[in-house]
Amino acid sequence: MHDLRRQALESGKTVSKKAQSRQSSRASSRANSAPNSRVTSRNASRHGSDEEEGGNLSDGTAWSVNSIDEVLALEDSEQTPEQWSTELADRIEQLIDRKRSSVQGREESLAAYTRILTAHYAKEEISRKAAELVTAFLKSIKAESSEKETIFALKALAMTLVTIPSEAVYDNVSAPLKRITSDSGSKPTKVTAIHALGTCTIYGGASDDEILENMAYFLEIVSSDGHFVEAGDEGDVVTAALEEWGFLATHIEDLEDESEDAMEAFVEQLESSDPSVQIAAGENIALIYEKSYTPQEEDEEVSDDGEAMSDPEDESVPGAPKLVKRYTAYRRTDQLVHTLSSLASLSTRKLSKKDKKSLHSNFADILNSVENPTRGPRYQNAVSHETGKRYGSRMVVRIHQNGVMRIDKWWKLHRLKGLRRVLQGGFVGHYENNEVVFESLPIMITNDK
């Protein structure tokens, strides 16, 4: 398994100003999105994302998504295999047998179950009970007896499917997940349900048409600034929908039919005052531009005036295929470039130094990719004196001491972030041992010298 991972190769709108006066309705179409949502969206509250260090935690009176992730990220390193497998078996029985359980007891069992599955690859330990576990999780999700139980159940469901995917679970969970996203009065619950829906779509057996359906669902949330799911102008909810749209989009080969409406929505969200919303929208924009180019076919001829680019990673390789533009990602690229340039150099006292640094760094990357769609995140044009080549994409994930995973494409970054939202600190362990995770991100691991 470890050798395989080293040898593997790649497989591989918010409401517009014109629509601000329209009436809101959760079940309405984009044409009936909420009034003045763009104005109030600019004052949306912000919480640190799953990817940020030092994100806002609970003050003790309410549980945020980040504070729950903190609990689930606790180290399990002191447990021996026998200890954690025994505890897992006990927790599974407690979750399945609800007759004598209390809300607090289920919270503790769900948290422990998810913590163990995050820290250890436990496919063999849960395989025989997987169907019963999903049923138990759905009961907790539907009942929504407490915020913590509901969120832990949503995370347990996602973690279970990443451990042992199913071809049948999606049909049973999609409606309950969408229902709680709309009906729950808890913002952290809505956010977690959106992420769980994205995970269940990919690992629960959804068809391509169902993936597209959920991309449209997430886009509806984004287009209405959250009003579509009774979360008007909640930055965290909009960010979650943007992130899951991007994660699902990496599993669709051709985004041409989806790009027009999506680009309108994402460009609108660049005006948000919430950096998390802006960055998530920008990363989706970069992904759409990247996917508008595909490798030149072996017998395909590209005219001299055709739009073809060399992949930066292959520039020095004789005969390497060029990337050919298949469709126009956005008709007003010149205006978009201006907006992205402004965000890459934004100077305002309204943002913290950390937020400004994040905006500058991310939008410099996004701008570079919009102008040169073959360039991935953290691309550097500087030339190495040692190799004579451009440094290229410098984003890496370190695997133990010497190994590095290079994230040189936007689809890879979206997949990585999607997996890390579920696996948290257990990502590396699952990447090494869980074929499901490896197949989702089949990237060559190289030595860092």
pLDDT at 33: 36
Q: What is the pLDDT of residues 44-79, one digit of tens each?
A: 333 333 333 333 322 222 334 454 455 444 455 578
Burial (CB count <10 Å: 0-12, 13-18, 19+), residue 38: buried
Residue 9 pLDDT more than 90?
Answer: no
Percent of the chain clearing pLDDT 90 (strictly above): 61
In Å, how far are 131, 138, 183, 184, 244 from 189, measured between CA atoms? 23, 14, 10, 7, 15
Pairing of strands 322-325, 308-310: antiparallel
Residue with tokens 């030092």: 54
Total-model pTM? 0.81
Give the pLDDT band of residue 418 (cuts 50, 70, 90): very high
Question: 5 with 438: CB under 8 angstroms?
Answer: yes
pLDDT at 396: 83
**Rounded average pLDDT over 247-270:** 97
Residue with tokens 């019963």: 132
Token pair listed for 293: 């180019």
Question: 306 with 324: CB under 8 angstroms?
Answer: yes
Residue 318 pLDDT more than 60?
Answer: no
Q: For residues 204 and 392, which has the higher predicted lDDT (pLDDT)?
A: 204
Q: What is the pLDDT of residues 362-392, one digit of tens each?
A: 999 999 999 999 899 988 877 777 777 766 7
Residue 305 pLDDT more than 80?
Answer: no
- Neighbour tally for 172: CB within 10 Å: 16
pLDDT at 155: 98
314's CB contacts (< 8 A; 6+ apart) are: 320, 321
Q: Mean pLDDT, the chain, as a whole number?
A: 82
Pairing of strands 390-393, 379-383: antiparallel
Give the pLDDT band of residue 341 (cuts 50, 70, 90): very high
Residue 257 pLDDT more than 80?
Answer: yes
pLDDT at 319: 54
